[in-house]
Every structure is written in C-alpha cells, then in structure tokens.
C-alpha cells in the first residue's frame, strides 16, 4: 500500500515535471507565428545565423535575438536559428547560409564579422535571396545589407564618464580579442578620457590574440587582467570582452572599484552581487539594427549597402541604470551633441 | 566452425554492434532532451547534395591526415595530443613560406609543404626529446605545447600581418599565396561549391606511406615492437630513445599536413579565421579507425558526415549543434566498447576451441607446443608479462599479436 502510494507520487511528480519542461521549451522558441490574436501575420521567413555562443550568450548574440523576437512579435514573421561552432572552417559557415537560402529563408541575417568571407561567396550564389550582416561593411552587393555601429562614439562617452569619475586619474580597458573591431572600442574610450583629462593614465590590454577567440568567453582571464589594473592604481575598468566581462565585474567588486559594461545595459543583466560596481554600460543596440532591418523588410523593401548606427540614431550610447552617472549626464550629453554635430571626430584606431 | 569464417563474422559484428548501440543511445539522448527523434534521423538519412559531398570529402581529407598523425604515435604507445599545436605551427609556416614566394609556381608549393612538415616534426620533437631523455610524459608536454603554439602563432601572425596588404579590415592574416602556387581544386559537379581540395591526392599518398612505413619497413617493425613491449624492444637491440624522438617527429610531420588543404585550397593565407580543433578530432578518428589506414579513413568520413549535417540538423530538425558532438562522442565510445566486447568474446571462443582440441588429443598430457592459438590463450589468462617477454623473440610473433587490432575494421 505504502509502496504504491510512493510510486504514484513519484509518477505524478515526474509527469508534472515533464509537462512543465514541454511547455517551457515551446514558449521561447517562438518559431511559430505570433501566439495572440493581436499579432499580425506575415509570410516572411527569417534565417538567423548566430556567431559562436548563439542565443543565450547574455551578450552580442542575445542582443540580435532580442531584435528578432521583437520583429516576430510585431510582424508575425517566422524564423529559424543556427549557431556557429568554435573553430569551425569557412565551409561550415558558408553551408549554414546556403542551407538557409535553400530552405526558402529570406532574409538571412549573419550575426558577426566572422561571416564576412562566407557571405561574400554565398550572396553571389543566391542573387535572389536577401542577406544582412552585422559588424562588417566589406561586402558591396545589391542583396546584402551591412549593419555596422559607431562603437568608437559610444566608447568615447563612457571614456569621458570614466575620466570624470576617476579619483586616481588612472583607468583601464580590457579588450576580449585584439581584432580591429575591438580596437575601435579602445580608440574611442581613450579619446573620450583624454578629452576630459589630457593627463589621465590609461592601462590597456587584450585577453587573447586572434586566431584564439577565447578572450570573448573566459571570465577567469578577464578577472586576472582587471585585478592587475586595479593593483596598478586604476579605479575604473571598461571591458569590451563579451562573456569575459563577468570576471572584470568580479575583480571590481572584490577590490571596491568600478567597472563599465558593454553591448547591453549590463546593470540589468549582471549578477546582482556585482550590480553596484557597474558605473554605466556602452550600449551597442544590435537589437535596434536587427529590428529596424526586419521592419523595412516587413514594409516590402530590402535595404542594401552600409547602414551605420551611431549616436545620432541612438544605435550606440551609454546607460544610466543605477544612477551613478546622473551627476555627469549633462556633461556627457554635451559631448554626445558635439560628436553628432561633427565638432568632435572620434578615431577608430588606437 | 571454421576459424577464419568465425573471425570474419566477429570482425563484421563490431561495426554492426557499434551502430545499433549508437542509434539506441542517441535516440535516448534525443528523447531525454525532448528533441524530435524522427526528424533527426530523417535528416541524417537524407542523401547529401553534391556540394555537401564536396564539403564532406574536404573535411574527411583533413580529419584523415590528423587521424594518421595521431595513429603513428598510438602505434608506439605515444599519446600525441599535440597534433593541434603542431598543425597550427606548420600551417603558419607553410603560409609564410608560400606567401613569401621565393620560388616560382609549384616549386614554391612543394617547398612550403616540406617546410610545414619540418616545422610540425620539430615542434613535436620537443615533446619527443623531453620524453626520451627527461622522462616527461608526452601527454603533459604536448598539451602544454598546444597552448604555447596557440599564443606563438597568434603573435607571429600579427607581426606578419603588419607587412601584408589587408584586404579585409576585420581579419588579421599573412600575405596571400600567389595564385600560381595554389593547389587547384577538383570539380565533382557543377559550380564552385562542388569542388574538393586537390590536397585529397596528397592525403591518399600519406595514407599509403603510413601503411607502407608501419607494415613493410624495418622502422615500422621497430616502432610496433617498441609499442608492444618496451623491455622486449630493448632486449632485441632497438634504440628506444631514438625511436621515441623519431616517432614523435614523424607524427608531427604528418600533423604538419593537416592544415595545408585549407592553406593551399581555400584560405591561401593564415589568419584569424583559421579553423582550430582539428588535432583533437584526429584522436577520436584514430581511435575509431583502430589505427588502420582504411579504418581511420572511415572514421574521418563518419565525423565529416556528421559535421556536415550539423547545420541541417539545426535548421531543418531544430536541434542544437551540441547534439552532433554528442553523436560523435557516443559513436566513439560504442566503437571502443563493442570492439573490446567482441575481442573478448572471440578470445573465449578460441580458448574453448583449443581446449576442445587438446581434450580430444590426450586429456592427460600437458598442452603441447605449437598448437594453434596457444600463445593467445596465455595472454587471456592475464599473464601479460609472460606474453610480452616471449613475443618479440621471433618477428612473426610480434606481427601476429599486432595484427589483432587490425582485424577489427570499422
């Protein structure tokens, strides 16, 4: 009797757990057209090719996914997603794009500059399919939209914020991987800091060198690098290191210093334990780029050529969550206006 | 039952058993992950298109070279985990030499390939020397040398890239190899996507060289003998220290070929988008192929096929790319397990056969010398030391024992 009760209990619990899993799984995929009656219907099938990490990386890919989700929600598009593997070859990236194109997905969005070479090839093979690539402007084709960001402008503002807030006159920059894209962050950050205080001391380092891209996903490396900077007298460190940034926040929290986040408003996504050390975040609104691209697609036009998301269209910016930069917001907005007006030109290489 | 027929049936049962077990385990994993089992098998059963075949053959070429490099080490009981680092160093060397183009046309290509093999060999030789003269485990030293290689190649690439003309701002790369030194691709269908690397020919040659070297030369015999039993090798006058260094260097030289199909067939330079992880796949491929030249090729083909299906599985079946990794791991485990199970079962059958024969002859007298299979029976009893010391006394004995893993093709 007791045994049967036990078995029944176990069974019912496991059944409940399983059904819970099933319903949870089906929700976030959102591949089927909109759930409610409010959402519109659309026969656009979006193919989304993520970079390494894919949806759920709390960083770059997730930001792109957020833009896609918003478009799906509003326009009732359908989508399918695939992600890159670490260390894969060109053929694999090309094949991912071709599989989407063959499967009737139009447009196909390639997330990340790693797809540049592959997309150059594939976009020529499928002239009738429309593509978009994020973070690369090397492809000049009628069926390719290059969505790029003025990372240096956003970095300029957080660099200025760091110099304004620093008490030691010593700040740091931690880049994930030393590629030209991340050097743009560094260049803008340095320029911004120097604009405020020409004598500011800036420590700068990169976690790894290409072709080793582990610097974008190794919090331990980020922590070691930031600890070194804090030991050398820095009191604010800006990271452009994707998933490694968590280590930078930890190092800041352990030593009672501050850090600056990147890509998304990391005050909202970081571990609550390190939330207070996040002075601000350099916002790179990949979601805005993806959403706006898809909204144009929804209107029936496929953009092509380079679209640059800069300060003037709020493609980049700085976050104010946590209120730590409220006192200098006026000063930062002044710089922002000067950059938009063209009085300040931000360099893209350090 | 006829012994030969029995052996053939046993050998054939290894892949069949491995396949059945793999399908069961993978289906279970898919079920537990709440993934569409039917859709996954549907995608895997679909015949690849022409351009997918081209990709599969390309990948097979690369995995095969990597597998052969690892297999050479395995044959001598050396676990060369450093193929990863060796191929990176060698690929950079080849790209550098070919990019500088001191010689015209294919002369340049040839010199670059040799330079790559030398670079890979020397880099592996470090671990070989450490093992032979300082007793450092090659497992540890090669893993550490992998990390060194990643940093070293990244640094040198960046230095070289400074002098190279940059066509694409987001990629750091060495000088482009002049077009006259590229190895032309071979077309297997329509369009540029259906071309395979011309390097596939060199891979086939490498496979043949491996087979010939191991099975038909004095060196190969020494190598296998050392792998079978160190003490016996020393007793029969083999210079084991020299063999360790040389075997490691040859393994590294083959590893040097791994990245070259990319260098000469696709990328035409070494840069930040150069693929990684090929050396580790080689270990799995060599294990699946049981170090046999044909077996390694089949293992490489299987892994290449699964890799190629990864995108289709994500897009058409909607499962995560990790499923492919799980499949590859499962198949590797099942091949190792089923070949071990079948081997033990085969030994027991043989043991029973011998016992029957002996019982028929004369139940009272002790086992006679020279009865077929007697040597193996000793081995089964767990008398490893005894078997090892008697083995290399005659060359035939070593070959006989060594044939064993080869009899289990995939």
Exposed e or buried b for every residue in A278-303, given b needs 16+ CB within 10 A?
A: bbbbbbbbbbbbbbbbbeebbeeebb
Q: Do A244 and A166 belong to one domain?
A: yes
Q: Do A216 and A179 belong to one domain?
A: yes
**What is the location of CATH 1.10.3470 in chain B?**
36-318
Query: Structurally, how many domains does chain A consist of?
Result: 2
Average pLDDT for A97-112: 93
**Within a domain: A30:** no
Q: What topology does CATH give the domain B36-318? A: ABC transporter involved in vitamin B12 uptake, BtuC (1.10.3470)
In angstroms, the CA B345 to CA B339 distance is 10
Nearest to B262 among A89, A125, A178 (CB): A89
Q: Do A139 and A58 belong to one domain?
A: yes
Nearest to B34 among A25, A96, A181 (CB): A25
Q: Which residue of chain A comes nearest to B57, CA vs CA? A: A91
Q: Do A111 and A167 belong to one domain?
A: no
Reading the block at residue A270, the tokens are 């970081």
Q: Tell me the average pLDDT of chain A.
A: 85
Partner B contacted by A125 (CB < 8 A): yes
> Given this model, what pLDDT does residue A40 score?
64
Contact call for residues B300 and B63 (beta carbons, < 8 A): yes
A264 against B283, higher pLDDT = B283
B17 against A20, higher pLDDT = B17
DSSP string, B95-142: HHHHHHT-S-HHHHHHHHHHHHHHHHHHHHHHHHHHHHHH---HHHHH
* CB-neighbour burial class of residue B261 (10 A; exposed 0-12, middle 13-18, buried 19+): buried
**Within a domain: A34:** no
A1 against A101, higher pLDDT = A101
Residue B77 is given by DSSP the state: T
Of A142, A83, A155, the C-alpha closest to A112 is A83
| pLDDT range class, residue B317, cuts 50, 70, 90 | confident
Least confident range of A85-94, A126-135, A243-252 = A85-94
| pLDDT range class, residue A291, cuts 50, 70, 90 | very high
Q: Do A210 and B157 touch (CB under 8 A)?
A: yes
Which residues of chain A are within 8 Å of residue B262 when distances are taken between CB atoms?
Answer: 89
**Within a domain: A15:** no
Residue B340 CB neighbour total at 10 angstroms: 12
Which residues of chain B are within 8 Å of residue A138 when distances are taken between CB atoms?
Answer: 168-170
> Given this model, what pLDDT does residue A269 score?
81
Least confident range of A81-90, A291-300, B235-244, B285-294 = A81-90
Which residues of chain A are within 8 Å of residue B321 when distances are taken between CB atoms?
Answer: 82-83, 85
Q: Do A216 and A263 belong to one domain?
A: yes
Instruction: Give the closest-approach CA distance of A271 to chain B in angstroms.
Output: 26
Q: Enumerate residues 6+ apart whose C-beta is below 8 A from B296.
A: B64, B67, B68, B71, B207, B285, B286, B288, B289
| Helix (H) or strand (E) run with residue B361 in it | helix B322-361
Q: Is the pLDDT of residue B375 over 70?
A: no
Q: Do A327 and A302 belong to one domain?
A: no
Query: What percent of chain A shows pLDDT beyond 90?
Result: 55
**Within a domain: A269:** yes
Q: Positive or negative CA dihedral for A289, A270, A49, A241?
A: positive
Query: What percent of chain A shows pLDDT beyond 70?
Result: 88
Q: Do A180 and A210 belong to one domain?
A: yes
Q: Tell me the average pLDDT of chain B.
A: 85
In angstroms, the CA A313 to CA A326 distance is 22
Q: Do A103 and B316 touch (CB under 8 A)?
A: yes
Reading the block at residue B396, the tokens are 């035939």
| pLDDT range class, residue A209, cuts 50, 70, 90 | confident
User: Is the ipTM above a cut-off of 0.95?
Assistant: no
Partner B contacted by A73 (CB < 8 A): no
| pLDDT range class, residue B199, cuts 50, 70, 90 | very high
Residue B188 is given by DSSP the state: S
Alpha-helical runs (H) found in A166-218: 180-196
> Given this model, what pLDDT does residue B174 score?
86
Which CATH number is A305's domain given? Answer: 3.40.50.2300
Average pLDDT for B294-300: 94
Q: Is the pLDDT of residue A285 over 50?
A: yes
The residue range of the domain holding A231 is 151-284+320-341
Q: Which residue of chain B comes nearest to A48, CA vs CA? A: B315
**Within a domain: A20:** no
**Within a domain: A217:** yes
> Given this model, what pLDDT does residue A31 score?
40
Contact call for residues B112 and B99 (beta carbons, < 8 A): no
Q: Do A220 and A271 belong to one domain?
A: yes
In angstroms, the CA A203 to CA A232 distance is 9
Could you report the per-residue pLDDT of B111-169, keeping only the tens digit for each? 999 999 999 999 999 999 999 999 999 999 999 999 999 889 988 988 888 766 554 45
In angstroms, the CA A258 to CA A278 distance is 6
**Within a domain: A10:** no
Is the pTM higher than 0.90? The answer reads no
Residue B336 CB neighbour total at 10 angstroms: 14
Least confident range of B54-63, B129-138, B286-295, B361-370 = B361-370
> Given this model, what pLDDT does residue A52 score?
83
Q: Is the pLDDT of residue A276 over 70?
A: yes
| pLDDT range class, residue A264, cuts 50, 70, 90 | confident
Q: Is the pLDDT of residue B388 over 50?
A: no
Q: Do B267 and A90 touch (CB under 8 A)?
A: yes
Q: Positive or negative CA dihedral for B46, B51, B52, B58?
A: positive
**Within a domain: A169:** yes
> Given this model, what pLDDT does residue A38 score?
45
> Given this model, what pLDDT does residue B404 score?
45
> Given this model, what pLDDT does residue A147 score?
93
| pLDDT range class, residue B376, cuts 50, 70, 90 | very low
Q: Do A305 and A324 belong to one domain?
A: no
> Given this model, what pLDDT does residue A113 score?
87
Of A80, A90, A61, the C-alpha closest to B314 is A80
Partner B contacted by A117 (CB < 8 A): yes
Q: Do A78 and A124 belong to one domain?
A: yes
List the A131-134 sheet strands across, edge first.
A78-83, A45-50, A108-111, A131-134, A144-149, A305-309
Q: Do A186 and A104 belong to one domain?
A: no
Q: Do A158 and A269 belong to one domain?
A: yes
């Amino acid at each position: 009797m007791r045994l049967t009760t036990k078995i029944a209990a176990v069974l019912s619990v496991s059944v409940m757990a399983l059904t819970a899993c099933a319903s949870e799984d089906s929700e976030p995929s959102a591949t089927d057209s909109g759930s409610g009656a409010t959402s519109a219907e659309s026969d656009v099938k979006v193919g989304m090719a993520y970079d390494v990490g894919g949806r759920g990386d709390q960083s770059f890919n997730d930001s792109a996914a957020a833009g896609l989700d918003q478009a799906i929600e509003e326009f009732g598009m359908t989508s399918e997603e695939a992600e890159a593997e670490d260390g894969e070859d060109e053929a694999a990236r090309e094949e991912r794009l071709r599989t989407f194109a063959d499967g009737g997905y139009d447009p196909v969005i390639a997330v990340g500059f790693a797809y540049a070479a592959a997309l150059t090839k594939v976009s020529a093979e499928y002239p009738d399919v429309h593509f978009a690539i994020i973070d690369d402007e090397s492809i000049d084709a009628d069926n390719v939209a290059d969505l790029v960001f003025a990372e240096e402008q956003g970095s300029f503002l957080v660099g200025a914020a760091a110099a304004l807030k620093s008490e030691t006159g010593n700040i740091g920059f931690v880049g994930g991987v030393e590629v030209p894209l991340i050097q743009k962050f560094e260049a803008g950050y340095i320029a911004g800091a120097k604009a405020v205080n020409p004598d500011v001391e800036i420590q700068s380092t990169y976690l790894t060198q290409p072709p080793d891209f582990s610097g974008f996903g190794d919090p331990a490396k980020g922590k070691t690098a930031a600890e070194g900077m804090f030991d050398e007298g820095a009191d604010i460190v800006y990271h452009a290191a994707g998933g490694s940034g968590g280590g930078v926040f930890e190092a800041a929290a352990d030593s009672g210093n501050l850090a600056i986040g990147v890509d998304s408003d990391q005050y909202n996504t970081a571990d609550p334990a390190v939330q207070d050390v996040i002075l601000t975040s350099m916002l790179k609104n990949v979601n805005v780029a993806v959403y706006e691209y898809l909204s144009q697609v929804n209107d029936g036009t496929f953009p092509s050529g380079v679209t640059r998301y800069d300060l003037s269209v709020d493609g980049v910016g700085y976050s104010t969550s946590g209120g730590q930069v409220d006192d200098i917001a006026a000063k930062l907005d002044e710089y922002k206006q000067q950059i938009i007006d063209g009085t300040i030109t931000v360099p893209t290489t350090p | 039952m006829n012994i030969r027929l029995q052996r053939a049936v046993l050998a054939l049962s290894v892949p069949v058993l491995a396949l059945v077990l793999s399908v069961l385990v993978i289906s279970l994993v898919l079920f537990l992950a709440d993934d569409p089992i039917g859709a996954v098998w549907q995608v895997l059963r679909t015949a690849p298109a022409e351009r997918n075949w081209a990709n599969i053959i390309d990948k097979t070429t690369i995995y095969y070279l990597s597998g052969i490099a690892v297999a050479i080490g395995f044959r001598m009981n050396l676990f060369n985990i450093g193929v990863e680092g060796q191929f990176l160093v060698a690929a950079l060397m080849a790209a550098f030499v070919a990019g500088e183009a001191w010689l015209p046309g294919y002369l340049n290509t040839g010199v670059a390939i040799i330079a790559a093999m030398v670079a890979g060999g020397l880099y592996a030789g470090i671990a070989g020397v450490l093992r032979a003269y300082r007793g450092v485990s090659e497992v540890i030293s090669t893993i550490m040398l992998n990390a060194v290689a990643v940093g070293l190649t990244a640094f040198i690439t960046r230095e070289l890239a400074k002098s190279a003309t940059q066509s694409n701002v987001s990629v750091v790369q060495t000088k482009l190899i002049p077009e006259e030194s590229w190895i032309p691709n071979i077309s297997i269908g329509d369009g540029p996507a259906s071309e395979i690397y011309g390097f596939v020919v060199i891979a086939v040659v490498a496979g043949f060289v491996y087979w010939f070297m191991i099975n038909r030369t004095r060196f190969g015999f020494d190598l296998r003998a050392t792998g079978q039993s160190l003490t016996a090798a020393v007793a029969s006058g083999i210079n084991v220290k020299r063999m360790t260094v040389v075997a490691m260097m040859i393994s590294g030289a083959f590893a040097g070929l791994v990245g070259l199909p990319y260098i000469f067939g696709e990328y035409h330079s070494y840069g930040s988008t150069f693929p990684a992880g090929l050396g580790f796949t080689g270990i799995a491929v060599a294990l699946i192929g049981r170090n046999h030249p044909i077996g390694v090729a089949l293992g490489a083909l299987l892994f290449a096929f699964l890799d190629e299906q990864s995108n289709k599985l994500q897009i058409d079946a909607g499962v995560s790319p990790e499923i492919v990794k799980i499949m590859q791991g499962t198949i590797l485990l099942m091949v190792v397990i089923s070949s071990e199970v079948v081997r033990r079962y085969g030994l027991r059958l043989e043991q029973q056969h011998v016992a029957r024969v002996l019982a028929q002859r004369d139940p009272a007298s002790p086992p006679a010398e020279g009865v077929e299979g007697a040597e193996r029976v000793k081995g089964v009893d767990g008398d490893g030391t005894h078997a090892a010391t008697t083995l290399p006394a005659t060359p035939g004995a070593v070959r006989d024992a060594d044939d064993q893993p080869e009899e289990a093709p995939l």
